[in-house]
Amino acid sequence: MRRRHFTIPLLLLASMTIAACGRYSSNILNPDNQDSDSESSPKTNLNVTNTKQDRPEIVCWGDSMTAGTGKSKAIISTDSVLFDASNMSYPDILQKLTGIKTYNFGIPSATSEEIAILQGGLSSDNSSYLKKINKDILSSGKKHPGNILILEIGSNGGWDNYSELIAQYNAMIDHSGCTDYIIIGDTDDPANSADPLVYDYADNISSSTVKTSWDDALEKAFGQHFINMRLELISRGLSIAGLTETANDKEAAMKGNISEQLRADWTHFNSYGYYSKAVITYEKGIQLGYWK
């Protein structure tokens, strides 16, 4: 079953465009996403560090995979980590790991074009969008452009070819003014891909390490800024989350599919999956020098 393409009409007025990268200290957008020193913070023995003075905010734009649809109870217990990830999205967890205030601008069911319009990278003069726009995200996004930009778009369609999708990513990066950014690749099983090119050959995948043409296009466009999250989660998502690989997981991996232990349904993650996703993103940020 392929992911259905939904449409959420949006309006971006010129006066409401998001400013270039700046510094802010207001409360985070997601009420479940508490400061790292909050009394309600999960207990963990990870080395949580504060950001550099010039790195005060992370902003995450995306669809339901950013919003955290499917989040659940999840206690991470490994030899080195004890972490309560219950009911947390990956931006929630990333804030805990980095100590940097993180804003979750995830819009469930939104297409790549709609997310880029809401963020400000693309514009729209269709006034019929006004009644259905997510005004809270628009307002918060305007106030919090961030210094580190994390983008994950395209899994609900909104693009016709890789060049168009890459142009949407670049428009969002350019609009933000951020030079520090991370691009997260699609995590659907290839047979559920929004990309017809991937969908057409998905049944012939017989390896846990095969890149799709979509993966390859984004990696060539964004280089070290790109995370092939699907392959990363196949390779080590279970071990990061403290889960044991099963025979079914091994079989799924050989088809290019992420373990169902990390999923809430056919596309969304549970909080074990979001935890592993956050850790992999955290490690990429260390690699790129965005945090320590």
Q: Is residue 11 part of a domain?
A: no
Tens-digit pLDDT profile for residues 103-131: 999 999 999 999 999 999 998 766 555 55
For residue range 41-97, list pLDDT tens digits in order: 333 345 444 434 454 799 999 999 999 999 999 999 999 999 999 999 999 999 999
**Sign of the CA dihedral 284, 252, 152, 64?**
negative
In a domain, 47, yes or no: yes
- For CA atoms 261, 262, 265, 271, the dihedral sign is positive
Q: Is residue 142 part of a domain?
A: yes
Distance of alpha carbon 10 from alpha carbon 13, whole angstroms? 10
Percent of the chain with pLDDT over 70: 78
Give the mean pLDDT of the chain. 84
Pick the more confident residue, 11 or 254: 254
pLDDT in the model for residue 110: 92
CB contact at 8 A, 51 and 98: yes
- 22: domain range? 16-288
> In angstroms, rounded to a whole number, what is the distance separating the alpha carbons of residues 203 and 180?
37
Indicate the pLDDT class of residue 2, thresholds 50, 70 and 90: very low
Q: Cβ distance 182 to 285 under 8 Å?
A: yes
Q: Per-residue pLDDT for 174 more than 80?
A: yes
Its pTM stands at 0.82
Question: Which residue has better confidence, 1 or 67?
Answer: 67
pLDDT of residue 36: 35
Given a cut of 60, is residue 10 above it in pLDDT?
Answer: no
Number of domains within the chain: 1
Cα 223 to chain centroid distance, Å, stands at 17
Specify if 61 maps to a domain: yes
Q: What is the pLDDT of residues 220-277, one digit of tens each?
A: 999 999 999 999 999 999 999 999 999 999 999 999 999 999 999 999 999 999 999 9
CATH number at residue 77: 3.40.50.1110
Which two tokens mark 184?
């997260």
Q: Per the structure block, which two tokens stand in for 1? A: 């079953």
Which residues, 6 or more positions from 108, have their beta carbon under 8 angstroms from its beta carbon?
63, 64, 67, 69
Closest Cα partner for 269 from 240, 226, 292? 240
> Which of 178, 142, 111 minimizes the C-alpha distance to 18?
142
Phi, psi at 101, each rounded to 5°: -60, 130
The verdict on residue 217 lying in a domain is yes
Instruction: Single out the residue of 5, 30, 19 nearest to residue 119, CA to CA.
Output: 19
257 closest CA partner among 219, 283, 281, 231? 231
pLDDT score at 124 = 79
Domain annotation covers residue 1: no
Q: Which residues 6+ apart lie within 8 Å of 285 measured at CB?
A: 98, 148, 182, 291
